[in-house]
Amino acid sequence: MYKDRLATKFYPVRTILGNHGAGTKGCTDYAHSRRLLLGISAFCDQHYYGHDCSIKCVGQNGCDGHYSCDDKGRKVCRPGWSGTECTEQIKEGEADCRVYNDRPDFGASSWTGTYNCSKQQDDVPIALNLTKTDGNIAVNGYVTFGNVQTLITGTFAHVAKFLVVQTPSDLKVPLMGFVYTSAELNLLLTTPTTLDGSIAFLGDNRSVCDVHISRQEDYFGGCNFRGSCIRYGTNRNDYYCCCHIGFTGNNCENRSEGPVIG
């Protein structure tokens, strides 16, 4: 069944001459004797392993896989990958696009923290998700006040390290007996992972609340959130994209009609 995967090697023939000595009276004379030793070994074709060459393993390092093969045909995950099929990207590992050296001080990211509008009020949870930045000043995403979520748009001034974002005017946030219809966040990047400032809630009344939030995760938008990003180096641009079905291009920026890997 597997004979087409076997390569046979014949070793050189070795002839051995032996003389067991001259005969003496009362002893039997032995003639010169010869024997032929023949060695045969079988080897599996490339990518096949096992005693019968039935195990196939082809190492991958791209969108089709991330592993090499050991001498028994078992998959050995490459750095940054885990799992039986080496398809699970290790968080903050070598292949994680969120980890790189030349990191900017602000970009697409998620933040969580609290805001407080009165010393008599308990802190209220807030979550800020900036899902897109254009590399200059424009940002957008969404914010969650307690259990109310809404879109946000705004700007980040890289020199001043100041973030200003606004919600649409259809917001409905109940707060201290009032319902507010919009909000504006004014936040200063005090450290690379901390934003401090205020929220101004607007509506029939106006309330200004203190805010403190911390960065939880960086988003890397190199694949435009249309594919899987895989890092192969330590700098920001050392990555490639495995695009989702319907998209193609180096950064999955183009639409297509079929499953294409960029």
Regarding predicted confidence, which is higher, 38 or 138? Answer: 138
Residue 103 lies in a domain: no
Looking up residue 67, the CATH number of its domain turns out to be: 2.10.25
Same-domain status, 80 and 20: no
Residue 86 lies in a domain: yes
Quickly count: other Cβ atoms within 10 Å of residue 57's Cβ: 18
Residue 261 lies in a domain: no
| Structure confidence at residue 97 (pLDDT) | 87
Same-domain status, 118 and 23: no
| Structure confidence at residue 260 (pLDDT) | 44
Residue 104 lies in a domain: no
Same-domain status, 21 and 49: yes
Residue 250 lies in a domain: no
| Structure confidence at residue 32 (pLDDT) | 60
Residue-wise pLDDT tens digits, 147-163? 888 899 999 998 899 99
Same-domain status, 155 and 180: yes
Mean pLDDT of 231-246: 91
Secondary structure letter of residue 226 according to DSSP? S
Same-domain status, 114 and 162: yes
Residue-wise pLDDT tens digits, 31-50? 566 777 777 777 899 999 99
Same-domain status, 187 and 116: yes
The answer, yes or no, to whether residue 19 has pLDDT greater than 50, is no
| Structure confidence at residue 262 (pLDDT) | 43
Same-domain status, 70 and 46: no
Same-domain status, 90 and 47: no
Q: Give me the number of domains the chain comprises.
A: 3
Same-domain status, 91 and 175: no
From 96, 124, 153, give the residue that closes a domain.
96
The answer, yes or no, to whether residue 237 has pLDDT greater than 90, is no
The answer, yes or no, to whether residue 229 has pLDDT greater than 60, is yes
Residue-wise pLDDT tens digits, 110-119? 999 999 988 7
Same-domain status, 69 and 136: no
Residue 102 lies in a domain: no
The answer, yes or no, to whether residue 86 has pLDDT greater than 80, is yes
Residue 209 lies in a domain: yes
Looking up residue 134, the CATH number of its domain turns out to be: 2.40.128
Range of the domain at 146: 109-218
| Structure confidence at residue 220 (pLDDT) | 76
Mean pLDDT of 212-236: 86
Angstrom CA distances, 222 to 63, 76, 136, 226, stand at 16, 28, 15, 9
Mean per-residue pLDDT of the chain: 82
pLDDT classification of 13: cutoffs 50, 70, 90: very low
Same-domain status, 183 and 135: yes
Same-domain status, 73 and 34: no
| Total residue count of the chain as it appears in this document | 262
pTM of the full structure: 0.57
Residue 127 lies in a domain: yes
* C-alpha Rg value of the chain to the nearest Å: 34
The partner residues of 8 in beta bridges, in order of sequence, read 42
Is 183 in contact with 145 (CB distance < 8 Å)? yes
